Structure 1
Amino acid sequence: WNDKNLPVEPADHALGRSRGGWTTKIHALTDELCSPVTMLLSAGQDGDNPMLMPLFKAHRANNTGELGRLLADKAYSHPSTRTRLRALKIKHTIPERSDQIGRRKAKGSAGGRPPAFDSGMYLHRNTVERGFNRLKQWRGIATRYDKYALTYLGGVTLAAIVIHHRVRS
């Protein structure tokens, strides 16, 4: 047992408070076969959008394949996120939030054009939800019993490996 080179555990252990108690949020990139490829954890009350770029960095560090297209929900629709995705040359399909639509329309011609959105492509976003559904079929993932975030992430990774193997065989 080597306790000198342990990975750094987050101060909050990816635990956050909500009305129902302690929560942890899993952020994941999935492939076209609904298999989770890259996963990160955050506290339950943390936003989704700030975790997108760390998720990409983790994906690039651990995978040789490029990202084909990002299909994301409205939580990722901030203009700075779209700008960053364009700079990284990542194609994306993200719907615009209703408050962003209203603000753009209120500005009139100064509001600019709406971002491109392919509703046909967005129909494939269910692969992300199905990937999370497969992860949550594991009792230890659905109800976090692990004290440490690294242990929980290890369980999530193990579940993802088994799911990946089942989908491919």
Structure 2
Amino acid sequence: MAQNNSARLVAVELDEGSILRSTPDVEHERAVAIYDLIEENEFEPLGDAGGPYRLKLSLVEKRLVFLVEREEGDPVVTHILSLTPLRKVVKDYFLICESYFEAIKTATPSQIEAIDMGRRGVHNEGSRILMERLEGKIRVDMQTARRLFTLVCALHWKG
């Protein structure tokens, strides 16, 4: 799909107050997710055609906050979403990731592949839920939703 130059993110920030510092591997995953998201995304607050946009993600009182600004920093919209619909899938995702990281130490390649397929399936489920939560607020494609779900998980990571 051809990318509309204005319907996209050019910067993404995770609220420092919402995340805990973690292992170098987890920090690297966050950085890669942000890099990949900025490189390729479809992101358009509905009713606004003035992008490109900057996004600040945070957790406030167990709610997910999407603070959207124009590239220059002018406010566009803030959406506050309940985390309840995502809570179980995030928990499942962390459990399967834990299993995956344990498996890569001792399991056979086919066992690792099976766990990884399960991990991707749970990640896709979380991405679909996030797209549903953003419906009517912000238009995103599946790849953008997947990368945003990774960042939502990063905000939940407790080490």
- TM (norm. structure 2) is 0.31
- TM (norm. structure 1) is 0.30
| Higher strand proportion | 2
Structure number with greater Rg is: 1
Q: Highest relative contact order (Cα 8 Å, sep 6+), 1 or 2?
A: 2
